[in-house]
């Protein structure tokens, strides 16, 4: 292998006879393998577009299903919450109705007890008219009937 100094920059060492024949052969083999690899890569079948299209549809379908699942879950939660509020409102209405009934029953019982107490007080306080006062009573009854006419 000999190393010679190039006299000009335009001179290509691969073109000239200045290189060692083994090095020249190695460079030609390397150049040929690079060209072969480039041709193989250029001429290979392309599936990138098909994969991208297939993946994009899968991605869109996946996101659509995920959004439907999320919407269904949220709506089910809101529906369950609404139903719980409706049940609570009905229970509150029933409790209020029961309280009104109990209050009405207590008021009725209180009124009956008051009437009974007033009747017992009236019967305890009232006396029969003594026989000596009967003529006066008859006079008062007659005067009230005559004045009414």
pLDDT in tens, 1-45: 444 554 554 555 555 567 789 999 999 999 999 999 999 988 888
- Residue 78 CA to chain centroid, in angstroms? 4
∠ CA(57), CA(59), CA(63), 5° rounding? 120
CA-CA distance, 124 to 107, in Å (whole number)?
A: 25
DSSP-assigned letters across all residues of 37-93: HHHHHHHSPP-HHHHHHHHHHHHHHHHHHHHHHHHHHHHHHHHHHHHHHHHHHHHHH
- In sequence order, what are the residues at sequence separation of 6 or more whose Cβ sits closer than 8 angstroms to the Cβ of residue 137? 129
Q: What is the pLDDT of residue 1?
A: 43
Q: What is the pLDDT of residue 147?
A: 66
Instruction: Determine how many CB atoms are found less than 10 A away from the CB of residue 111.
Output: 10
pLDDT top residue among 121 and 79: 79
Span 85-136, pLDDT tens digits: 999 999 999 999 999 999 999 999 999 999 999 988 887 777 665 566 677 7
Q: What is the pLDDT of residue 141?
A: 77
CA-CA distance, 102 to 12, in Å (whole number)?
A: 115
């Amino acid at each position: 292998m000999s190393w010679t100094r190039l006299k000009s920059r335009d001179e290509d060492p691969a073109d000239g006879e200045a290189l060692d024949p083994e090095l020249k052969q190695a460079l030609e083999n390397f150049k040929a393998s690079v060209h072969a690899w480039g041709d193989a890569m250029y001429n290979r079948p392309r599936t990138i577009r098909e994969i991208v299209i297939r993946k994009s549809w899968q991605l869109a379908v996946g996101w659509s299903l995920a959004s439907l699942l999320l919407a269904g879950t949220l709506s089910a939660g809101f529906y369950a919450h609404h139903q719980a509020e409706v049940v609570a409102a009905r229970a509150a209405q029933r409790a209020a109705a029961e309280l009104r009934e109990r209050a009405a029953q207590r008021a009725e019982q209180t009124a009956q007890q008051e009437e009974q107490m007033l009747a017992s007080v009236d019967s305890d306080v009232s006396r029969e008219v003594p026989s000596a006062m009967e003529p006066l009573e008859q006079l008062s009854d007659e005067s009230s009937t005559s004045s009414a006419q």
